Structure 1
Amino acid sequence: MHSSDTSPVFVPAKAAVMLVFMPPEGTDRQQRQSLAALADALQRHLDGSVRVLKLDETTHPDVMRSFDIANLPAFVLVRRGVELWRHEGLTDEQTLTQASRQMLAVGRNGLSAP
């Protein structure tokens, strides 16, 4: 599939987005299923304060390159085009939820992230 074959992803400008960079489809199916379930659970826990998007190189190669992802899976929290937090490699739902909430609270209060 060519990058021109995909539809653009539209997200409101004020919304924070957790980008979940998935391994390619040809890799470990169980890991992909676990990551998809993790992303879905994260979306439920963040209750609309963050939009969770699952991306892979096949469908969004330009996005993968623009974030210079070295290790998969990777999780990147972005708001208004600014990267707030990143984790490359496996992690758990609690870590992702806490980091997202902390980074969003920091941004709302005008403080800088640690």
Structure 2
Amino acid sequence: MVDFYADWCGPCQTMNPVLDEVIAELDGKIKLFKLNIDKNPQAAQQFGVRSIPHYILFKRGKILWRKGGYMTKRDLLQAMKGFVG
């Protein structure tokens, strides 16, 4: 999963511990990559990221799921469990 974020983004900072907890609970079944849109604007443009935080889950180069904005731990964990079986 790629977390599109910026250092100045308050909701992005709020999501960091939520993301860490969800990834830990999924026990390595999903890897988290953080992509700073200020340092990589071309990647944000390529994937149509218009607001942050924004998350895209990839499997073998294909987008399986995407969502923008703040999410509760419960909602994010529920969404991810649908992909890790």
TM-score band (shorter)?
0.7 to 0.9
Give the structure with higher Rg (CA): 1
Tell me which amino acid in the other structure corresponds to 2:36: D
Q: 1:63 aligns with which of 39, 43, 46?
A: 43
Q: Scaled by the length of structure 1, what TM-score is found?
A: 0.65
Deviation per CA, 1:72-99, whole angstroms, max 9, x where unpaired?
Answer: 1111111001100111111112211221
Distance apart, 1:54 and its partner CA = 1.8
Q: Which residue of 2 aligns with 1:25?
A: 7
Higher RCO, 1 vs 2 (CA within 8 Å, ≥6 residues apart): 2
Q: Scaled by the length of structure 2, what TM-score is found?
A: 0.83
The answer to whether the 8 A contact 2:44-2:50 is kept is: no
The root-mean-square deviation of aligned C-alpha atoms, in Å, is: 1.7
Structure 2 unaligned blocks of 5 or more: none
Q: Distance in 1 between matches of 2:57 and 2:23?
A: 13
Does 2:20 align with 1:40? yes
Does 2:53 align with 1:73? yes
- Percent sequence identity is 26
> In the superposition, relative to structure 1, how do residues 76 and 54 fare at CA in structure 2: closer, same or farther (>3 Å)?
same
